[in-house]
Structure 1
Amino acid sequence: MEIQTSYSVVVTDHITDCRDFYVRNFGFKVVFESTWFIYLESPGERHVAVAFMTCDHPSHPPGPERFSGEGMFLTLQVADARQAHDHLEQSGARIAYPLADEPWGQRRFGLRDPSGMWVDVVEQIDPAPGFWDPYMPAM
């Protein structure tokens, strides 16, 4: 089997708000849009994709259950988290987790999209010396 692409579909009543959130804040482009389904891709060579679907969609499965906002998050890796943070903050986005350097090797911040999904924006940095040692399997 050759997997051609992968993307998550979030079932929500807020598909147009989600579309606008990702287009405005992260530069995603609308690839396909209907009254009940919107598919977005990030700019650049290595596309990241996400889709949003209304609860009254005609495709089954999945069922019409709305995403509850718990137990899932989207990570967007960027080259410069500080620049992304400042851009989003200046645009009026509500940052829910402030910019921080994490000991496991990420500079990151977070916010929620209109569906309630957590969006974790990360830049890879060097981890604190020895941080990963207790978590690595013995060889």
Structure 2
Amino acid sequence: MQLESAYPVIVTPAIGDCRDFYVRHFGFEVVFESSWFIYLASKANPVLAIAFMSPDHPSSPPGPATFNGQGMFFTLQVADAAAEFEKVQQSGARIAYELRDEPWGQRRFGLLDPSGTWVDVVQQIEPAAGFWDPYMS
């Protein structure tokens, strides 16, 4: 298999709100839009993508089950999390997890999109000395 792209499709009645959220706060652009499906890609790198599908979509499978916001999150890895935090905060997004450095080696912040998906914006940094030692085999 030679992949060309990979992206999550989130089933939600809020497809328009999700479109606006990713376009406004993260620089995605609409590549395809219909009444029940929206595909977004990063302006900077079009292979980075996410899609949203209305629960009343006509395709099957999958079924019409709506994503409940649990058990999954969407990570956006960036070069400078502090700069992105400032941009996202200034764009009016509601930050749910303030910018901080984590001992496992990430500078990150988080927020929820209109579908309830946790969006984790991360920058890789050096982990705290010895943090990973107990977890490595």
104-113 vs 79-88, greater mean Cα deviation: 79-88
1:28: which partner in 2?
A: 28
Deviation at 1:46, TM superposition (A): 6.3
89-98 vs 40-49, greater mean Cα deviation: 40-49
Counterpart of 2:87, as a letter, is H
1:97: which partner in 2?
A: 97
Counterpart of 2:31, as a letter, is V
Counterpart of 2:81, as a letter, is A
1:61: which partner in 2?
A: 61
Q: Deviations over 1:28-71 (max 9, x none)?
A: 01111000000001122463110000000000011001100000
Query: Equivalents in 1 of 2:19, 2:66: separation in Å?
Result: 17
Q: Tell me, which stretches of 5 or more residues in structure 1 are unaligned?
A: none
- The 8 Å contact of residues 5 and 47 in structure 2, kept in 1 or not, is answered as no
- The 8 Å contact of residues 5 and 48 in structure 2, kept in 1 or not, is answered as no
- The 8 Å contact of residues 55 and 66 in structure 2, kept in 1 or not, is answered as yes
Query: Equivalents in 2 of 1:26, 1:131: separation in Å?
Result: 31
Query: Equivalents in 2 of 1:86, 1:76: separation in Å?
Result: 15
Q: Deviations over 1:84-120 (max 9, x none)?
A: 1111111111000010100010000000000000000
Counterpart of 1:74, as a letter, is F
Shift >4 Å, 4+ stretches? none
Counterpart of 2:35, as a letter, is T
**Partner SS state of residue 23, structure 1:** helix
Q: Tell me, which stretches of 5 or more residues in structure 2 are unaligned?
A: none
Query: Equivalents in 2 of 1:81, 1:46: separation in Å?
Result: 20
43-52 vs 96-105, greater mean Cα deviation: 43-52
1:79: which partner in 2?
A: 79
Please report the RMSD computed on the Cα atoms of aligned residues, expressed in angstroms.
Answer: 0.9
1:109: which partner in 2?
A: 109
Size of the aligned set, in residue pairs, is 137
2:19: which partner in 1?
A: 19
